[in-house]
Amino acid sequence: MNEWSLIEQLKQGNQEAFKTIVDSWQNMVYNTAIGIVKNAEDAEDIAQDVFVQVFQSISSFKGDSKFSTWLYRITITKSLDHERRKKRKKRFAFVKSLFGEESELLFHPPDFNHPGIVLDKKEDAVILFKVIDKLPLNQRIAFTLHKIEGLSYQEVGEVMKTTLSSVESLIHRAKINLRKQLEAYFKENE
Amino acid sequence: MKQKKTIEERIEETMNSFDGIQPASPQPWLFTRIQGRLLKMEEKTSWDMVSSFLSKPAVAIASLCLILFLNGFILFQQEKEASVVILPAQYEPPSDSESMIASSSSFDYETLVQP
């Protein structure tokens, strides 16, 4: 069954078509979310949210872009919303900690180990994930989509609704900033 | 110089640490959990949806501002109406004698309280 007939069937509320869509795109959605929020449980929650939204708003999908592009956009929006909520909770946890209540996990989350990283590169990847967080938002999203999701610059541009040259520039600047951050990190820690 | 090179090497290694990354997969039965979530949402009554909508901070603050604005607007309107009770057709300018009474009485009062 091709993508368009699946979408048409989902628009008519077909559960089988919905199951096929979830099975086909769940890894892509989950992998994108985990690359942004850096937490397996949160990424799972976001993946559920994304597919619930797909089910509820499939009628608004007109096919102007690829279905996967539409899915990426929903996933990124949900992941960033989740991140904002978490930051708000973190600020609240800080206030609570002033009154002696424990909120250690929110305040100092553990290092993130992406399950798909090659074993001998895990330690380095933990450091890279830490410094990626310090990048400006657009650079972070472009770098994550390219490096973790393996999208081409052209595909990143479609997801971010920007030109190829803008994506090239974003990723170039992201790499420069990451090198600066890493240099500072290693000077401080080694 | 040697340390500088070591740091550069470390940076290069770290920058390449995503090479060969495999996509992460969610726990099995994601579809079942999504169906469960959809069912739970369908069970919500319309009142639940209204209350959850109103309890959103943005909606609550916007509603409060709207109520305050309407309140102020109504008060302003009432004051405006109260100050224009005499219609132009019924309005008669006070005669000179009335003005005199008013001004002299206030003058009298002032002189009365003067020691």
Cβ-proximal residues to A156 (8 Å cutoff; 6+ apart), any chain = A142, A145, A146, A167, A171
B83 pLDDT tier (thresholds 50, 70, 90): confident
Q: Within the 21-50 window of chain B, which residues sit less than 8 Å (CB to CB) from chain A?
A: 21-27, 30-31, 33-34, 37-38, 41
The owner of tokens 């109103």 is: B54
Mean pLDDT of B39-64: 83
- Per-residue confidence (pLDDT) for residue B51, from 0 to 100: 81
Ramachandran sector of residue B36 (left: φ over 0; alpha: ψ -120 to 50; beta: rest): alpha
Residue A116 in contact with residue B21, Cβ under 8 Å?
yes
Please judge whether A116 and B19 are an interchain contact, meaning their C-beta atoms are less than 8 angstroms apart.
no
Angle of CA points B71, B75, B78, to nearest 5°:
140
pLDDT tens-digit map of A26-84:
999 999 999 999 999 999 999 999 999 999 999 999 988 999 999 999 999 999 999 99
Distance in angstroms (rounded) separating the CA atoms of residues A26 and A177: 32
Please judge whether A121 and B20 are an interchain contact, meaning their C-beta atoms are less than 8 angstroms apart.
yes
Residue A25 in contact with residue A71, Cβ under 8 Å?
yes
Q: Is the pLDDT of residue A25 over 70?
A: yes
Q: Which of B7, B17, B24 sits opposite A125 (nearest CB)?
A: B17
Question: Which residues of A fall within a CB distance of 8 Å from B31?
Answer: 18-19, 22-23, 26
Q: Within the 118-177 window of chain A, which residues sit less than 8 Å (CB to CB) from chain B?
A: 118, 121, 124-125, 127-128, 147-150, 175
B85 pLDDT tier (thresholds 50, 70, 90): low
User: In terms of CA atoms, which chain B residue is nearest residue A190?
Assistant: B7
Mean pLDDT of A148-177: 97
Amino acid occupying residue B52: S
Mean pLDDT of A153-167: 97
Task: State the angle between helix axes of A164-189 and A153-160 in degrees (0 to 180), rounded to the nearest 10.
Answer: 100
- Per-residue confidence (pLDDT) for residue B56, from 0 to 100: 82
- Per-residue confidence (pLDDT) for residue A110, from 0 to 100: 79
SS (H, E, C) chain A: CCHHHHHHHHHCCCHHHHHHHHHHHHHHHHHHHHHHHCCHHHHHHHHHHHHHHHHHHHHHCCCCCCHHHHHHHHHHHHHHHHHHHHHHHHHHHHHHHHCCCCCHHHHCCCCCCCCCCCHHHHHHHHHHHHHHCCCCHHHHHHHHHHHCCCCCHHHHHHHHCCCHHHHHHHHHHHHHHHHHHHHHHHHHHC
pLDDT tens-digit map of B94-110:
555 555 555 444 545 55
Mean pLDDT of B58-65: 90
Q: Is the pLDDT of residue A149 over 80?
A: yes
Rg over CA atoms, chain B: 39
User: In terms of CA atoms, which chain B residue is nearest residue A146?
Assistant: B18
pLDDT tens-digit map of A82-139:
999 988 888 777 777 777 666 555 556 678 999 999 899 999 999 999 999 999 999 9
- Per-residue confidence (pLDDT) for residue B109, from 0 to 100: 52
- Per-residue confidence (pLDDT) for residue A72, from 0 to 100: 97
- Per-residue confidence (pLDDT) for residue B62, from 0 to 100: 92
Q: Is the pLDDT of residue B78 over 60?
A: yes
- Per-residue confidence (pLDDT) for residue B80, from 0 to 100: 85
What's the burial of A69, exposed, middle or buried (CB within 10 Å: 0-12/13-18/19+)? Answer: middle
Distance in angstroms (rounded) separating the CA atoms of residues A76 and A53: 13
The total of other beta-carbon atoms located within 10 Å of residue A33's CB is 27
- Per-residue confidence (pLDDT) for residue B50, from 0 to 100: 81
What is the pTM for the complete model shown? 0.74
